[in-house]
Amino acid sequence: MSLPTHFTLNTGAKIPAVGLGTWKSKPGEVRKAVAFALKDGYRHIDAALIYGNEVEVGQGIVDSGVPREEIFLTSKLWNTDHPDVAAGLEKTLKDLGVDYLDLYLIHWPVRLVPNDSHPLLPVNPDGTRAVDRSWDMKETWRQMEAVYKTGKVKAIGVANWSTPYLEDLEKSWTVVPAVNQVELHPLLPQHDLREWCHKRGILLEAYSPLGSTGAPIASDPAIQAIADKYKVAPAAILISYHVNRGDVVLPKSVSEGRISSNRHLVSIDKEDLDVLNGLAAQGKAKRINTPLWGFDLGFADWYGPIKKE
C-alpha cells in the first residue's frame, strides 16, 4: 500500500504529510536544517514565534532556493498576542521574511498578560504564569477569522485544544479550524479527540512524534519490536504511524542524516497499527509536553479506549 504524500485541508489546500519541526532548533543550526530539508525534498516547515528562531527559519527558506509558493509554511500566534492577532501575525511575517503563511495556529488556548517580568512568558509576583483565565478564546478565534479573510494566512487552526475547548469554540466559529496540532504518538494516541476532529473535517497534526528531546519513545521495547519486524529504525515507525492513521506528522531534527531519513515512511500493517493504538491503554500512556500554565487544559480522557482503525 502506498502512503499519501499529502492530505487535503478543509480549505481545499494540500498539506504535505511530513513537515520539519523547528522547536529547540537553535539559531545557527536551524537555518542550515531548514535549507537542507527543503533541498532534500521537504515542502512543509512548522515554525512558531515562541521558538525564537523565525528569522533563521526564514533565512533557511531563502538559502534553499525553493520558491516560497512551493513551501507549506505554518506559524503560531503566541499566548501574549491573543488580544491583537493581526499584530502577532505581523511580527511573525516580518521575522520569517514572507508576506503570507499557509497555516496560522493559536498556539495554546491560554492568554498570558504581558508585564515587565518576561516579554513572552510573563509571570505573576508569586512566580506563577500571568494567565488571564477570563479571556474568551472565541474572541481570539474571531480575530483569526478576520486575518484569514485578509489572505495573509491561507488557513487557520489551533494547537493544544482539547474537546471541551473545541466544543466551546464551535458555538461561534464561522470558519472551522483546518487543523488541531497536538502531542500525538503511540503513548498518547488521543483517539477521542481525533474522532471529534475528524467528524468536523479538522485534520490532526502530530507534534513530538518521537517524544521530543532525545527521542525517548524510540527506545520503548514495543516500538523497537515493530521496527525490527519492518527492518527500520524505531523513529521510522513512530513517524510513519501518523501518516498511516491519516494525520500530519512534524518530526524535528537538525541532523542532516535524520532530517533525510525522517521523511521516508513505512506502510504499517493493520495488526501492527492496532498494537500501536493500544499501547497507551495498556498502561504506557504518557504526555511529555506539559507546560505549567497552572490549570487543566481539558485533556482528561487523553488516552481514551483502544480503538481499531
Ligand X SMILES: NC(=O)c1ccc[n+]([C@@H]2O[C@H](COP(=O)([O-])OP(=O)(O)OC[C@H]3O[C@@H](n4cnc5c(N)ncnc54)[C@H](OP(=O)(O)O)[C@@H]3O)[C@@H](O)[C@H]2O)c1
Q: How many residues bind ligand X (CB under 6 A)?
A: 30
User: Across the chain, how many H-helices and E-strands are there?
Assistant: 10, 10
| Beta carbon nearer to ligand X, 59 or 149 | 59
Q: Which is nearer to ligand X, 66 or 235 (CB)?
A: 235
Phi–psi pair at 195, nearest 5 degrees: -60, -45
Q: Which amino acid is at 174?
A: T
Q: Does 93 bind ligand X (CB under 6 A)?
A: no
- At 178, which amino acid appears? A
Site string for ligand X, 34-73 (x = CB under 6 A): ------------x---------------------------
- For ligand X, which is the closer residue by CB, 123 or 297? 297
Residue nearest to ligand X (CB): 21
| Residue among 88, 157, 189, 209 that touches ligand X (CB under 6 A) | 209
Site string for ligand X, 212-251 (x = CB under 6 A): xxxx--x----------------x--------------xx
Task: Round to the nearest angstrom and report the end-to-end CA distance of the chain.
Answer: 16
Quote the cell numbers at residue 25.
532548533
C-alpha cell at 73: 509554511
**What is the rounded CA–CA span in Å between residue 252 and residue 258?**
9
Return the residue of 16, 252, 279, 298 that touches ligand X, per CB under 6 A.
252
CB 234 within 8 A of CB 219: yes
Rg of the chain on CA atoms, in Å: 19
Is 207 marked active-site? no
Residue pair 260/217 in contact by the 8 Å Cβ criterion: no
Instruction: Pick one of 80, 143, 253, 277: the residue that binds ligand X (CB under 6 A).
Output: 253
Query: Quick one: 59 or 75, whose CB is closer to ligand X?
Result: 75
CA 113 to chain centre: 24
Q: Which residues are catalytic?
A: 51
> Which residues of this chain interact with ligand X, rule CB under 6 A?
21-24, 46, 107, 159-160, 181, 207-215, 218, 235, 250-255, 258, 261-262, 289
